[in-house]
Amino acid sequence: MRKRDLVLDKYGISGKRYKELCGFCEQYPEWKAFLREETNTVKARIITDMPVAHNNGDATGDLAVKRVEIARKCEIIEETAKEASEDLASFLIKSVCYEVPYTYLQTVEEMPCSRSCFYDTRRYFFFLLDRNKEK
């Protein structure tokens, strides 16, 4: 299925920046899975014949820092979706992060707005995301 790019010239977002924002959003499912699954830092040591450099790093601290960074990225997307439209936030996340098409959202998910209204809100979401991601 071919995906049409949004035209965001009105908002001052170039095509390359739009693709970067799309790529940022498309990582959302991976980040949510990481936050859900990666909670344990205790791992078994793999025994091989190769010498191993033993760094005395703090695995728990490293995981905590990584989880905070990823949680912040997820929060940026979720807060931006709410800022764009409180009513359509969940539909926006499904559309931009999970690439769910409008027709599915309209017919199966029973999204309460027209195609033009939804795509206007989606464009506004990317405008806000461009601004919020820079903070």
When divided into structural domains, the chain yields a total of 1
- Check pLDDT > 90 for residue 95: yes
Instruction: Assess if residue 12 is contained within a domain.
Output: no
User: Which tokens hold the place of 37?
Assistant: 């699954």
Is pLDDT larger for residue 79 or for residue 56?
Answer: 79
Give a yes or no: residue 53 inside a domain.
no
Residue percentage of the chain with pLDDT more than 70: 81
Closest CA to 60 of 78, 42, 45, 75: 42
7 inside domain: no
Separation CA 32–CA 3 (nearest Å): 24
CB-based contact 76:132 (threshold 8 Å): yes
Do residues 8 and 123 lie in contact, with contact meaning Cβ atoms separated by under 8 Å? yes
Asked if 46 and 99 touch (Cβ cutoff 8 Å), the reply is: no
Strongest mean pLDDT among 10-24, 53-67, 104-118: 104-118
How many other CB atoms are found less than 10 A from the CB of residue 47? 7
pTM of the model as a whole: 0.82
* Domain contains 5: no
What domain range includes position 110?
A: 18-44+58-133
